[in-house]
Amino acid sequence: MDTYLIVALVIVSALLLVAWRRIRRTRRSSAGAEAERLDTLIGWPPEATRIMRTPERLALSTLKLALPGYMIFAQVPIARFVNVPKRNSYAEWMRRIGSQCVDFVVCDMTSQVVAAIDVRRPDPQLSDRVRRRTGRLARTLRAVGITLHVWNEESLPSVESARTTLLPHLPAAVPAEVVAQKTAARASAVLAQARQPFEDTDRRDHRIEVTEMAEPSASTWFDELDSVPSTLPPPTARHDR
């Protein structure tokens, strides 16, 4: 008798488990369908916000003064300048590290990233989750040979200190005047070889060799930005033409 009771309890438990899973799956499907029906602008009313916080704006000014001749970009996602093999799940890599942003990247004149700067709060103020995330970020950049410099947002370095710290790790920058001269000379050479629209010569005699540079990989990313809504001017009245 006890055996039949145990078997009956096992069967009832299995049926309840199957029913619970079916109800849960139905709820998820209903929630997903409801999210699909939700309008993007109505569900998430957009507001214009600032890209950088005050410490980041000060850090950008310091970098511009300390590194003339280099290209400096703000809030660049990792997936924009780091490529990974696609043999494993790319979506999982994007979830782990690819959607993260670096506060600033320093590039040479070909837009190749040569250094990265992260402006953070003091270490005691960081949560364990943020420490793990930044640790993965540092390991990823170290693996591709990019130096990550961490700046304390409460005590940013001076222009001289930033230049002394960053320049030993960077390749020599080409002066802007030299770059402009080379660009002008290259453009003049291309124009001299270009075929005039009404010229009766054969196009094959005026071939121009063009060296293409590899384009950066496209990316879809999202990062948690600590930004404050900016004040927009009142809308101007539209005049019918």
Per-residue model confidence (pLDDT) at position 76 = 92
Indicate the pairing of strand 113-120 with strand 101-107.
antiparallel
The single residue listed with the structure tokens 């809308």 is: 235
CA distance 229 to 235: 17
Per-residue model confidence (pLDDT) at position 126 = 76
Per-residue model confidence (pLDDT) at position 88 = 87
The four Cα atoms 76, 82, 83, 88 give a dihedral, to 10 degrees, of -90
Q: Which residue ranges form the domains of the chain, and what is each CATH number?
A: 54-169 (3.40.1350)
Per-residue model confidence (pLDDT) at position 182 = 62
The maximal CA–CA distance of the chain, rounded, in angstroms, is 105
Per-residue model confidence (pLDDT) at position 60 = 94
Per-residue model confidence (pLDDT) at position 143 = 92
CA distance 188 to 218: 32
221 Cα distance to chain centroid: 6
Per-residue model confidence (pLDDT) at position 213 = 52
Tens-digit pLDDT profile for the chain (241 aa)?
567 777 777 787 888 888 888 877 777 666 555 666 778 888 888 888 888 899 999 999 999 999 988 999 999 998 899 988 888 888 888 888 877 889 999 998 888 999 999 998 887 777 787 788 888 888 899 999 998 999 998 899 999 999 988 887 676 665 555 556 666 676 667 556 654 544 554 544 444 444 455 555 444 444 444 444 444 445 554 444 4
